Amino acid sequence: MALKSWVESANLPGCDFPLENLPYGAFSHGGERRIGIAIGDQALDIRACIEEELLGPLSSEIAEACSASALNALMALGTAAWSALRRQLTSLLGSHAAPETQEKARRHLLPMQSVQMEVPAQVGDYTDFYASIHHATRVGKLFRPDNPLLPNYKYIPIGYHGRASSIVASGTEIRRPSGQVKPASSAEPAFGPSRSLDYELEVGIFVGLGNQIGAPIPIAEAEQHIFGLCLVNDWSARDIQSWEYQPLGPFLAKSFATTISPWVVTLEALAPYRVETPVRTQGDPEPLPYLKERDPSRAGIDVTVEVLLQSEKMREQKVPASLLSRASLRDLYWSVAQLVTHHASNGCNLRPGDLLATGTISGSDEGSEGCLLEMKHRAHALTLPTGETRTFLEDGDEVTLRGYCQGPGLPRIGFGQCVGRIGAAIPS
């Protein structure tokens, strides 16, 4: 049933990037930045394929957008253009492509290991939501044991404006931030390196087609504005956060760095994995009309997301990274369409390349907490195979996020990895 590619590595079981996926990214190679797609363990240079007329008939807008060094222009073209390009790429890389076409296209494949993956688009604005009710409940319990969820939670997707300038590609070292902290035991705050550095396991939503300022995006059209999804690690300094967050929310506790995975997986590739949005618990309010999904039976997406950690000691002892948690995008209280529609509901204009993130994705059980902060509820400290324990991240720790969809008779649609290693604080 699975589509075969003449790129052999794309047909291997467990491969994140089979022919059915074809995620977009931007990479540097030989001093030039290009956009490409992932196929097996290779990156295909799209511009080179178009220049050699290997991609069949494409509009001049698409050809021009594909010769850019970031995805913004392609994102701006909208669903018809994205589908047209995807069809051509599928036929180029499929096993039915003519042998001479395969021969020519093969020259535009670059082993992924040989290219430097970049942030795929120029991100103008970055917004982070709080769409996991399990995360919101567990974090809320730390502050309000009897009343963890605030009264607005089930009505309105909560979010804050993040910082776009410090979004970095997977693999970039993350320097431990310094900031103002005030432990409960001290009368006065002090400035210094964060002692409570955390990760947050999230999925990012890249905006494709934008909207005019003043023109909201109806829920039925929201997905036409989504170019695709990636993994996001919203690094968070909890000690800085707890002192600065009232009354205006997170600021320097999160703005120092956000890591994203390099490949953007399209909604077309994710189509086989559409699922019902979580049934709201009895007594939960219906979404207000502007947020009411037209087809709740396929508003969710079943992407499994995981966090792995490897300490410096584990690396020295060649101990593989430990799985810390596993959850699914399907368990969010708000769908990706609801996040887009809510964001634009006041007339705020979204632009191609804007990034919205879901907020920490957690499930209800132990082992599905999407950040270390939530593990405070566990009876025992997190212990690594080396015997080391963790409350928060230490220097040298490497955090890897993974995401994938798989199911019986369906192709695996992988997101690849989102990796960041903690470096010592910048001396102040």
374 is an interface residue for Mn ion by CB under 5 A: no
Q: Are 369 and 243 in contact (CB under 8 A)?
A: no
* Residue of the chain from 200, 239, 244, 398 that contacts Mn ion (CB under 5 A): 200
Please, which residue, 20 or 200, has the CB nearer to Mn ion? 200
Distances (CA, A) of 412 to 39, 100, 172, 201, 352: 13, 29, 27, 20, 27
Shortest distance, position 21 Cβ to Mn ion, whole Å: 26
CB of 405 vs Mn ion, minimal distance in Å: 22
Q: Which residue is nearest to Mn ion (CB)?
A: 234
Residue 247 preceded by cis peptide, ω within 30: yes
Give the interface size with Mn ion as a residue count (CB under 5 A). 3
| Active-site residue identified among 135, 225, 342, 343 | 135
Least distance (Å) between residue 202 CB and Mn ion: 6
> Cα separation of 194 and 178, whole Å?
5
Q: Which is nearer to Mn ion, 26 or 327 (CB)?
A: 327
**Euclidean distance between CA atoms 346 and 213, whole angstroms:** 9
Q: How far is the CB of 236 from Mn ion (least distance, A)?
A: 7
Question: Distances from the Cα of 154 to the Cαs of 42, 56, 107, 345, in angstroms?
Answer: 43, 48, 52, 17
Nearer to Mn ion, 17 or 199 (CB): 199
The minimum distance between CB 420 and Mn ion, in angstroms, equals 14
380 is catalytic: no
| Closest CB to Mn ion among residues 234, 293 | 234
Task: Report the alpha-carbon distance of residue 289 to residue 287 in Å, rounded.
Answer: 6
**Given the complex with Mn ion, which of 16 and 128 has the nearer CB atom?**
128
Task: Give me the DSSP letters along 34-71.
Answer: EEEEEETTEEEEHHHHHHTT-S-S--HHHHHHHTSSSS
Q: Would you give the binding string for Mn ion spanning residues 210-239, x where CB under 5 A is met?
A: ------------------------x-----
d(CA 84, CA 63) in angstroms, rounded, equals 11
Nearest distance, CB of residue 200 and Mn ion, angstroms = 4
Residue 46 CB, shortest distance to Mn ion, in Å, is 32
Interior/surface letters 268-289, b for 16+ CB within 10 angstroms, e for the rest = ebbeebeeebbeeeeeeeebee
The contact mask relative to Mn ion for 154-193 (x = CB under 5 A, - = no) is: ----------------------------------------
Query: SS3 string of 285-347?
Result: CCCCHHHCCCCHHHCEECCEEEEEEECHHHHHCCCCCEEEEEEEHHHCCCCHHHHHHHHHCCC
Q: Which is nearer to Mn ion, 20 or 374 (CB)?
A: 374
The helix (run of H) or strand (run of E) holding residue 161 is: strand 159-161
End-to-end CA, the chain: 58
Q: Of 118, 128, 354, 374, which lies in the binding site for Mn ion, with binding defined by CB under 5 A?
A: 128
Give the torsion sign (CA, 349, 163, 325, 312). positive
- Complex with Mn ion: residue 273 or 333, whichever CB lies closer: 333
Q: Which of the ranges 70-78, 97-105, 195-203, 371-379 carries the binding residues for Mn ion, by CB under 5 A?
A: 195-203
The distance of closest approach from Cβ of residue 359 to Mn ion in the complex, given in angstroms and rounded to an integer, is: 5
- How many residues comprise the chain? 428
Binding piece for Mn ion, criterion CB under 5 A, among 128-136, 169-177, 278-286, 396-404: 128-136
Q: How far is CA 201 from CA 188, 258, 351, 415, in A?
A: 32, 11, 24, 13
Span of 17-25, 122-130, 146-154, 401-409 interacting with Mn ion by CB under 5 A:
122-130
Pick 20 or 128: Cβ nearer Mn ion: 128
Q: Which of 170, 141, 159 is nearest to 26 (CA)?
A: 170
CA nearest 178: which of 428, 398, 397?
428
- Which residues lie near Mn ion (CB under 5 A)? 128, 200, 234
Q: What are the residue numbers of the active site?
A: 135
